[in-house]
Amino acid sequence: MNRRIFLKSGACSLVALAGPPRFLVRTAAADARGKVLVAVFQRGAVDGLSMIVPYGDPAYATARPTIALKPPKRGEGDRALDLDGFFAMHPALAPLVPLWENRSLAVVHACGSPDTTRSHFDAQDYMESGTPGVKATPDGWLARAVKTLPAKPAPFRAVALGRALPRALQGDAGAIAMQSIDRFDMRAADTTARGGFEALYARSVSDVLSGTGYQTFEAMKMLQSANASRIPPANGAEYPRGQFGEAMRQVAQLIKANVGLEVAFADTQGWDTHVGQGAEQGQLAARLREFAGALAAFAQDLGDRMADVVVLTMSEFGRTVGENGNRGTDHGHATAMLALGGAVRGGRVYGRWPGLVREQRFEDRDLAVTTDFRTLFSEVAARHLGIPSAPLFPGWKASQPPLGLFA
């Protein structure tokens, strides 16, 4: 629906194709300080028990003879970093400590899906469609979120940094997927090809290809006139090298360029640590270091603007409480998710702790889910973006009170 409105208003400006899309820039600028939700997906199922360590649970260390993190101890490095006397952060998350201390970072633990699948693709699909157990849902929950927001003629309302449009943004929301801002450009030495292609795609906005083509050229022009790719990181922020740091750097660029961004999506890969996941150091620590470094740089880069931005991290499920025979962990159930920025009441771990003793576990092996991911997602959507939960999660009725994540 929104896409159609955008396309219709786009058709009016076809006569002035050569000029920059000024009306778009103006509309977007009027909403420049709108709220932004940045969804981060840790694909492969992050081990929530290593990310946010329940060192106070007596069953934690014994379940993981070689991969448990050493409990925090004042004045000693290379150990978990205490949060509240029961939970601690993985030491590789050290860049996030200041955000925890200034109460902009909150943790929701034992969070996950009511569906019991331990299949990556099913669980990702369910989390992104927002309908656990139902594969036929045609669109994603973030696409529905964008469609619920007031219509706005901007090509950059919803953007995924990546190759394809993630399931969460699929649907009729006009979301854009791009691998990088820099490469979102016509790579031609002269302007002939660009003008030719634009003219070829300008003739009919009713067709899906021409419509997207038109949107593409509008987006390209807007990016150029906003000079988004040239906006440097501010406040001394330094993004870690790698795909995820790059994605977050570019999300920040889009926010600072005031192009009307409302929902952004970024992936981070490599969390499926079946073998040799490590403890304070090692494979998982390296992944967490990049993850935390990118989030911390993003918050630093945006500075005061973080008041309008919430970053929500998610993963399809967690991992087994016990370590397996290969010093790794297998597919589990609940995990930990983070909410950062906006009016989030940080410095707290939310959710009921189910415990790690065998009989407290889900199917005797996994961290049980005590917070349905939809409870968290709908609270963020409602309190940060002002979206009611009903259209976001069809068929779901909250069975627990809100977490109270927002002030």
Using the rule CB under 8 A, give the single segment among 50-58, 59-67, 69-77, 157-165 that binds other proteins: 157-165
Using the rule CB under 8 A, give the single segment among 93-101, 196-204, 243-251, 314-322 that binds other proteins: 196-204
Given the complex with other proteins, which of 54 and 270 has the nearer CB atom? Answer: 270
Question: For other proteins, which residue of 135, 232, 236, 401 counts as binding (CB under 8 A)?
Answer: 135
Task: Assess 177 for contact with other proteins (CB under 8 A).
Answer: yes
What is the closest distance, in whole angstroms, from the C-beta atom of residue 274 to other proteins in the complex?
Answer: 9
Using the rule CB under 8 A, give the single segment among 21-29, 192-200, 311-319, 340-348 that binds other proteins: 192-200
Task: Assess 207 for contact with other proteins (CB under 8 A).
Answer: yes
Helix (H) or strand (E) holding 376: helix 373-380
What is the closest distance, in whole angstroms, from the C-beta atom of residue 217 to other proteins in the complex?
Answer: 9
* 75 DSSP assignment: T
Using the rule CB under 8 A, give the single segment among 186-194, 226-234, 303-311, 333-341 that binds other proteins: 186-194
Task: Assess 179 for contact with other proteins (CB under 8 A).
Answer: yes
Cβ-count burial 241-266 (b if 16+ within 10 Å, e if not):
ebbbbbbbbbbbbbbbbbbbbbbbbb
Q: Backbone phi, then psi, for 41, in 5-degree steps? A: -105, 120
Asked whether the beta carbons of 159 and 265 are under 8 A apart, the reply is yes
Task: Assess 125 for contact with other proteins (CB under 8 A).
Answer: yes
Task: Assess 378 for contact with other proteins (CB under 8 A).
Answer: no
Question: For other proteins, which residue of 216, 243, 250, 329 counts as binding (CB under 8 A)?
Answer: 216
**What tokens were used for 234?**
């501010």
Cβ-count burial 28-63 (b if 16+ within 10 Å, e if not):
beebeebbbbbbbbbbbbbbbbbbbbbbebebbeeb
Task: Assess 163 for contact with other proteins (CB under 8 A).
Answer: yes
Give Cα separations from 73 to 61, 76, 196 (angstroms): 15, 6, 65
Given the complex with other proteins, which of 76 and 190 has the nearer CB atom? Answer: 190
Q: Backbone phi, then psi, for 256, in 5-degree steps? A: -70, -25
Question: For other proteins, which residue of 72, 130, 132, 155 counts as binding (CB under 8 A)?
Answer: 155
What is the closest distance, in whole angstroms, from the C-beta atom of residue 205 to other proteins in the complex?
Answer: 11
Task: Assess 196 for contact with other proteins (CB under 8 A).
Answer: yes
Residue type, 341: G
Dihedral Cα 248, 335, 373, 337, nearest 10 deg: -30
Question: For other proteins, which residue of 51, 168, 176, 222 counts as binding (CB under 8 A)?
Answer: 176
Q: Computed over its alpha carbons, how large is the radius of gyration of the chain?
A: 22
Asked whether the beta carbons of 306 and 38 are under 8 A apart, the reply is no
Task: Assess 210 for contact with other proteins (CB under 8 A).
Answer: yes
d(CA 362, CA 376): 20
Task: Assess 184 for contact with other proteins (CB under 8 A).
Answer: yes
d(CA 56, CA 67): 16
Task: Assess 187 for contact with other proteins (CB under 8 A).
Answer: yes
d(CA 176, CA 161): 9
Task: Assess 215 for contact with other proteins (CB under 8 A).
Answer: yes
- Give the list of residues 6+ apart from residue 15 with CB closer than 8 angstroms, or none: none
- Bridge partner residues of 53 (DSSP): 88
Interface size with other proteins, residues (CB under 8 A): 51
Binding mask 311-340 for other proteins (x = CB under 8 A): --------------x---------------
Per CB under 8 A, residues contacting other proteins are 119-122, 125, 135-136, 155, 163-165, 170, 175-179, 184-188, 190, 192-193, 195-197, 199-201, 203-204, 207-210, 212-213, 215-216, 219-220, 275-276, 278, 281-283, 286, 325
